[in-house]
Homo-oligomer: A and B are copies of this chain.
């Protein structure tokens, strides 16, 4: 199952570097190498590679716009697009991801990371350059930093407690939870009480709120 890759970058040097790096992998093949966005879209549509590795800065059509055409909302049979750029700008990251890109790489990354990213992208999963991630995370969680640092001992939830918490967040009663987990209501209440203490909350709604906030449950 060879991973077929399209490379689009206006710099000849970058194209060949990426090509050589990916060429070291027996299961990867560069099926096209182009220098501008229009050709990238054209070739991508024709060849339907497993991964499109696009630079942002390109003549004719930039990588972000090309991404939208290949993977954006409303496109049927979207392709897997990886954005690679020298410029670490939040604006680029947002636009890339909202245009359907499934990865965002900086060109100072290691070859191994590029390979990992391409492999991840080929299955539709994502990889974002560490530097980008960290910067974004620091924006996401600045408010929590202070409150978290002085917190004495964060007691992690056990598996079972987590099970109960999830079901609570889905609106189930203790009876229902007991039935679903094949335990008695007493057990459910025990787990719930422990989770409540560990999370430092007062009732099940706050438990549910925690679950939603932290992504334990979705929707």
Contact = CB atoms under 8 A, between A and B. Distances in A.
Interface of A: 56-57, 62, 64-65, 68, 72-73, 87-95, 97-99, 103, 110, 112-113, 115-116, 119-120, 125-128, 130-131, 133-141, 143-146, 148-149, 153-156, 162, 168-171, 173, 201-206, 208-210, 212-216, 219
Nearest to A219: B213
A120 B127 CA distance: 15
Contacts of A95: 148, 154
Query: Nearest 8 A-B pairs (CB), nearest first?
Result: A171-B206, A90-B214, A126-B130, A91-B214, A126-B134, A127-B130, A98-B143, A171-B205
Contact of A171 (B57, B92, B203): B203
A95 B151 CA distance: 10
Contacts of A209: 169-171, 208, 212
Contacts of A103: 130
B136 A126 contact: no
A162 B215 contact: no
A126 B106 CA distance: 13
Contacts of A203: 171, 173
A149 B90 contact: no
A115 B112 CA distance: 9
A19 to B, nearest CB: 20
A131 B126 contact: yes
Given A94-B143, A110-B119, A116-B116, 13 more contacts: A62-B154, A72-B149, A73-B146, A90-B215, A97-B134, A98-B145, A112-B115, A112-B116, A125-B130, A126-B130, A128-B137, A171-B202, A205-B205
